[in-house]
Chain A
């Protein structure tokens, strides 16, 4: 298995545009997480799926953000009407459904909003 993959790795967009990121988890993992990491900070939890069900969303995830995992495999994170404050690294992670609580992270998608 090649690990968690994310696409694209880099995205530059103009303010007001919509962007969509994709995450492909490790195939045996049924839990999938999205995090956001800004410069000089640790990753911050955004949302979490178990199979296709989105079970929790952070307050950081405004109405402009939506995440889906329609078939319980890959996931997409969409940001509508992007703002400069959305510029960050968006990380995806996946894990098995129960202990040892280890999440495997993808390389991230770096978003720059100009």
Chain B
């Protein structure tokens, strides 16, 4: 299995530009998570989906951020317009059925390193 795939791995853009991050979860996994990691705030959950449906987007920082999951094998996180404070590493993770006592199957992708100038 190829694991969780994210693209691009690195993105440098200018303030005000639109940024689209992409994620392909592990085949068969029914949960997908988007996280953001910074030195100051650590790893934060932005949004997660179950069977392609957004369940909780309370971590999305503001309306400039949006996420979609049009099918079981693809998700996007879009920032429009981007700002320098959005610079961070964005991780996608997928999981197979979050059981009540067991989340050991949550796998992280390699991340996208975003720099907004």
Q: Do these two chains really belong together in a complex?
A: no
- The interface of chain B, by Cβ under 8 A from chain A, is none
- The interface of chain A, by Cβ under 8 A from chain B, is none
